[in-house]
Structure 1
Amino acid sequence: MTGYARTDIQRIVEILNNLLNSCRAAVGGAFAGGKARTGNRSMGDIEQRLAAAGLTLPPAMPGVRLPFAFVQRTGSRLLFSGHGPQAPNGEIHAVRGKLGAQLDVAEGYDAARLVALSVLASIQRELGSLDRVARWTRVFGMVNSAPAFCDQPAVINGFSDLILSLYGTVRGSHVRSAIGVAQLPFNIPVEVEGEVEVHAD
Structure 2
Amino acid sequence: MFEAKIKELGLELPPAPQPMGVYKPIVQVGNLVYLSGHAPLKSDKTIITGRIGDDMDVEAGYAAARLTGLAILATLRQHLGSVDQVVRLVKLFGLVRCTEAFDAQPSVINGCSELFRDVFGEDAGIAARSAVGANSLPGGMAVEIEAIFEVQA
- TM-score normalized by the length of structure 2: 0.95
Specify the alignment match of 2:23 in structure 1. Answer: 68
Residues 27-66 of structure 1 mapped to structure 2, 5 A cutoff:
45-61=1-17, 66=21
Distance in 1, matches of 2:21 and 2:79, equals 16
Match of 2:75 in 1: 122
Q: 4+ residue runs of structure 1 moved beyond 4 angstroms?
A: none
CA distance in 2, matches of 1:61, 1:138: 20
Aligned counterparts, 1:19-168, within 5 A: 45-61=1-17, 66-89=21-44, 91-93=45-47, 95-168=48-121
The 8 Å contact of residues 32 and 151 in structure 2, kept in 1 or not, is answered as yes
Higher relative contact order (CA 8 A, sep 6+): 2
Q: Which has a greater percent of helix?
A: 1
TM-score (norm. length: structure 1): 0.73
The residue type paired with residue 16 of structure 2 is A
Unaligned 5+ residue runs, structure 1?
Answer: 1-44
Cα distance, 1:169 vs. partner?
1.2
Matches within 5 A, 1:1-16: none
Aligned length: 153
Task: Work out the percentage of aligned pairs sharing the same amino acid.
Answer: 38
Aligned to 1:15: none
How far 1:46 sits from its partner (Å)?
1.8
Aligned to 1:29: none
Aligned equivalents of 2:120, 2:148: Cα separation in 1: 15
Q: CA RMSD in A?
A: 1.3
> Runs of 5+ in structure 2 lacking a partner?
none
- Residues 162-181 of structure 1 aligned to structure 2 (within 5 Å): 162-181=115-134
**Offset, 1:49:** 1.8
* Paired AA for residue 121 in structure 2: G
Q: Which amino acid aligns with 2:102?
A: F
Amino acid at match of 2:5: R
